[in-house]
Amino acid sequence: MVGLNNYFFEDYLRAANQADTVDALFSVLMKAVGRHGFNRAVFGMMTDHLDIDKKAGFGIAYSYPDDWVQYYNEKKLQYIDPVMTLGSVRSESFLWSDLDRLVSLTKTQKQFLLLAEDAGLRNGLCAPFHGPHNQIAGIGLATTEKKDAFDGNVDLVTAYCSHFYVAYKRLMRRDSAVEHIVLTNKESEVLTWAAAGKTDAEIAVILNISHNTVDTHMRKIFQKLGANSRVLAAVKAISLGLISV
């Protein structure tokens, strides 16, 4: 469930939408995820983003240690990083601690994770983003503390990260053209209830429509918003003023 009806998310939106630089936007993100136990973050793009004229890269914005980001890029560790590998094919956020369960880690990948831990990057979470034209990006969150301080609110943290990605692209867009996306009244209703944390089955009952109809609306919403998850669709719609929380 998405569940974006949260005071802190509304507070984050106000601050993030006022940010006029990437650094300012990233600072807002760090403050938000800090409430949930993370004090390290990195934003990267796994593919080129031609719509904003930006090449793929690790550490576009980050609070990871400088020497780690430099080492990562010099050694091209994205090719062995299991977080990057899984994030490129998975749409949902995941904890680093679940990697062993989600993929078969090679010896090299296990050594990589130990190196990251030695660099002070522990108890991490990855929020991947998949946009139109096969765009892939993501945010990695971690803590310097050995004890896991994450409060477990994956949906809300994912919403913060998803909005950062949307807002970053908006800042980087080469022209000032506003995205002209129109949702039908029913699509707006469906997505509003999804943002409130309702399942498709619950939305069907609330709106007195079939489960299949809800699914059809969600597919059209995803297509219009260039999203492949309920969280990213809801966050982008909120950012564009198409729905409110």
**Tens digit of each residue's pLDDT (9 = 90 or more) over 207-228:** 999 999 999 999 999 988 888 8
Closest CA to 140 of 100, 93, 174: 93
CATH for 185-239, among 3.40.50.300, 1.10.10.10, 1.10.10.60, 2.40.50.140? 1.10.10.10
Paired tokens of 83: 């977080």
Average pLDDT over residues 154-160: 92
Paired tokens of 203: 């939305």
Give the Cα separation of 157 and 135 in Å (integer). 21
**Tens digit of each residue's pLDDT (9 = 90 or more) over 106-151:** 999 999 999 999 999 999 999 999 988 889 999 999 999 999 999 9
Per-residue pLDDT at 69: 97
CATH for 7-172, among 3.30.390.30, 3.30.450.80, 3.90.79.10, 3.30.499.10? 3.30.450.80
Give 110-114 contacts, CB < 8 A, sequence gap 24+.
112/77, 112/80, 112/81, 112/82, 113/82
- Inform me whether the pLDDT recorded for 172 exceeds 80: yes
3-state SS assignment for residue 65: coil
Higher pLDDT pick, 180 / 152: 152
CB 221 within 8 A of CB 231: no
Q: Which amino acid is at 45?
A: M
Give the Cα separation of 12 and 163 in Å (integer). 9
Number of H helices, E strands in the chain: 11, 5
| Domains of the chain, residue spans | 7-172, 185-239
Beta bridge partners of 137: 45, 129
pLDDT class of 240 with cuts at 50, 70, 90? confident
Closest CA to 92 of 171, 172, 40, 157: 157
Per-residue pLDDT at 176: 44
Q: Which of 64-78, 95-109, 126-140, 175-189 is predicted least confidently?
A: 175-189
Give the Cα separation of 203 and 220 in Å (integer). 16
Average pLDDT over residues 167-171: 92
